[in-house]
Amino acid sequence: MFDGFLLLTLLIGTPGFVLWREQRRRRQGAPPRLRRYLETAILASVLLGLLAADWAATGRMPAALGLDWPLSARSLDLMLVATTVLAALLALSNLGALRGKAPPAPSPDSPLPATRAEFIAFLPLTILVGVAWEALFRGFLLYALTPVVGLFGAVAMASVAYAAAHGVAELRRLMASLAAALAFTLAYAFSHSLWWLIILHAGLPMIGASAQFRAQARAST
């Protein structure tokens, strides 16, 4: 029963809540980023808490979500790959900064931080969201849906749910979210490990935020 409730929450409830929030922002304007960060942190924490309660009540192991412990050799290898990719992207970002290629200032709707306070709040948020979204939209949804609709059906449904939970107001952003979701969900389906995807999910926004923050700092001096 708990599985069914969480499944409906992720497939219908969360996208519906995000759609309502988008409609509210259209009428009232985008709230300050710190408030948006707090709303996202609360949503991620509540959903992750539901998943943890479900797993504790049923006595399942974290490995069923792709969170093997102790770490297997495959998970360690994939984590090394993810870390190497992030290091390369960070180096490229720093190289672009040295050449004066600063990213444009974020729009009011952008989730990227524009001030020091927003940057400080953004970093722990990316870790929380990386853990929560991977465990929920990859680990749990594939666990719950694969026996019902098959692996590729589960991948498709999980990817659509993830994209919808990131907003449907802008088609370009929706398609970008869907493409990222498909890539990450397929990567989990074939690797059976979430650790490396959590590292990528948390690390990629951090690199973007770091580049943006450095650009803002240079512009203000």
Domain positions in the chain:
2-220
- Percent of the chain clearing pLDDT 90 (strictly above): 62
**Confidence label for 186 from pLDDT (cuts 50, 70 and 90):** very high
Q: Please give the helix or strand (H or E) that residue 96 lies within, else none.
A: helix 73-98
- Could you list the beta-strand ranges (E) of 49-193: none
Instruction: Supply the pLDDT for residue 96.
Output: 64
Please tell me the distance from the alpha carbon of residue 15 to that of residue 68, in angstroms, as a whole number: 29
94 pLDDT above the threshold of 80: no
Q: What is the mean pLDDT of residues 3-29?
A: 88
Please tell me the distance from the alpha carbon of residue 197 to that of residue 188, in angstroms, as a whole number: 8
Q: Other C-beta atoms within 10 Å of 183: how many?
A: 13
User: Counting every residue, how long is the chain?
Assistant: 221
What's this model's pTM, rounded to 2 decimal places? 0.91
Instruction: Supply the pLDDT for residue 210.
Output: 84
First to last CA, the chain: 57
